[in-house]
Amino acid sequence: MILAPVAADAPIGVYIHVPFCAHICPYCDFTTYAGKNNLVPAYVDAVVREIELRAGEAGARSAATIYLGGGTPSLLTPVQIERILAAVRTHLPVFVDAEVTMEANPNGLSPEHLSGYLQAGVNRLSIGAQTLDRRGLRTLGRQHEAEDVLVSLQAAADAGFERINLDFILGWPGQTRESWQRDLQTLVSLGDAGPDHLSLYSLIIEPGTPYADAAARGILNMPDDDATADMYEDAISILAAAGWDHYEIANWCREPGGYSRHNAVYWQHGDYLGIGAGAFGTINGKRVMNQLLPERYITDLANNVLPQSNTELLDETTARAESMMLGLRLLNDGVDAAGFAVRHGIDLDEAYGPQVAHMCELGLMERTASGVRLTQRGMMLANNVVAEFL
Ligand code: SF4
């Protein structure tokens, strides 16, 4: 069970952003830069310094998860990753069994690097596969081949990683349902030799990306909403038939309880420290966003200045709405009424009784023994349901 929301003093997550990539994929709007790898050593120094400066924000609360995201954290060497993780463990109480995830691209993951990351303390990998369709990989501007995904899975398992997530994108330009079903069948056929977790995201055309430009010119052959919904339903049925647990709107785990504990901190409306250029996080109701540019981030920290570009205090109305928006993503557990009352000092029905009743009448939400959650139909219309609470 993933209780959502958690109490305000629950253990925290630590997110560390690595804003460097070998090249920029045309759909990507993350904070990441190509051609700046020369900054990596100074960036690692700056991350370590930010951890030193900001660890106190969490008070005595322990970190249950650490997540190295990007960008492409696997561009860093194991020694650099070890330095960052050592800084977290030195300045924050970290659970002995903390989940420590690192994002990686499938190409360039050598056995030596994988062993090094494991020894550095990484115990979960999240590999950006995106598709196993060769044409799709080119369309998405990826630099790896489908074989690289399978080779990296095997290499990670050989190195000793027991927890591996694969990220996939559905609804990429030109994708057919047959191609998507083939990807899913390949994944489930891997069984124990495959990933233990899948994150399947619908492609969203983000403003300012080359894809947005191509879409504006009418030259991006996007599957329509119905076709993408069909692909999502394919994922639900094929993975269910193979015994996978669809525990969150875009996430599945192969074994019960194999969920992403770091992402669960987000869905549980837990607090997390955001470290690195472009990172943001929330601790004790204060949301902090860091400078986007790695150069500025590095300079600020070299001068012992916190590299923050924006801070915001969350008001209670926003906090309650966020608890609903995030908790409803959890398909098995949904929003826990007792947890909501503890977190917000008000009963769920007092805060949202009319909205819950309306959504239940429409068959989009249902009451459970512990609270409320989306129905199967509500899952397909999750954005509309969530909008009721914002
Ligand atoms: S590898 Fe990932 S983070 Fe880097 S540009 Fe591509 S999608 Fe963005």
Residue 1 pLDDT grade (very low, low, confident, very high; cuts 50, 70, 90)? confident
The token pair at 112 is 């030596």
Judge whether 170 and 132 are in contact, CB under 8 Å: no
Which CATH number is correct for 317-387, 1.10.1740.10, 1.10.10.920, 3.40.50.2300, 3.55.50.30?
1.10.10.920
Residue 305 pLDDT grade (very low, low, confident, very high; cuts 50, 70, 90)? very high
Judge whether 124 and 104 are in contact, CB under 8 Å: no
Closest CA to 97 of 182, 154, 47, 163: 163
The token pair at 60 is 């005595």
* Angstrom distance (rounded) from CA 110 to CA 114: 6
Amino acid making up residue 74: S
Average pLDDT over residues 101-109: 94
pLDDT of residue 179: 97
Ligand 1 pocket mutation pick from 17, 20, 24 by most atoms within 8 angstroms of CB: 24
Dump pLDDT digits (tens) for 252-303: 999 999 999 999 999 999 999 999 999 999 999 999 999 999 999 999 999 9
The token pair at 193 is 């030799």
Average pLDDT over residues 86-104: 97
Q: In the chain, where are the structural domains located?
A: 12-267, 317-387
Closest CA to 149 of 198, 115, 100, 112: 198
pLDDT of residue 10: 96
pTM of the complete model: 0.96
pLDDT of residue 108: 82
Dump pLDDT digits (tens) for 309-348: 999 999 999 999 999 999 999 999 999 999 999 999 999 9
Judge whether 90 and 39 are in contact, CB under 8 Å: no
- Return all residues near 380 (Cβ < 8 A) that are at least 6 apart: 229, 232
Which CATH number is correct for 12-267, 3.30.930.10, 3.20.20.70, 3.90.110.10, 1.20.120.420?
3.20.20.70
Dump pLDDT digits (tens) for 223-264: 999 999 999 999 999 999 999 999 999 999 999 999 999 999
Ligand 1 pocket mutation pick from 21, 126, 139, 166 by most atoms within 8 angstroms of CB: 21
Judge whether 30 and 17 are in contact, CB under 8 Å: no
Classify residue 76 by burial, with Cβ atoms within 10 Å: 0-12, 13-18, 19+. Answer: buried
Three-state DSSP at 106 gives coil
Dump pLDDT digits (tens) for 359-377: 999 999 999 999 999 999 9
Q: How far away, in angstroms, is 321 Cα from ligand 1 center?
A: 30
Closest CA to 5 of 244, 268, 260: 268
* Angstrom distance (rounded) from CA 25 to CA 350: 46
Q: How far away, in angstroms, is 247 Cα from ligand 1 center?
A: 25
| Side-by-side strand order, sheet with 365-367 | 335-336, 371-374, 365-367
Write down the mean pLDDT value for the chain: 96
24 lines ligand 1 (CB under 6 A): yes
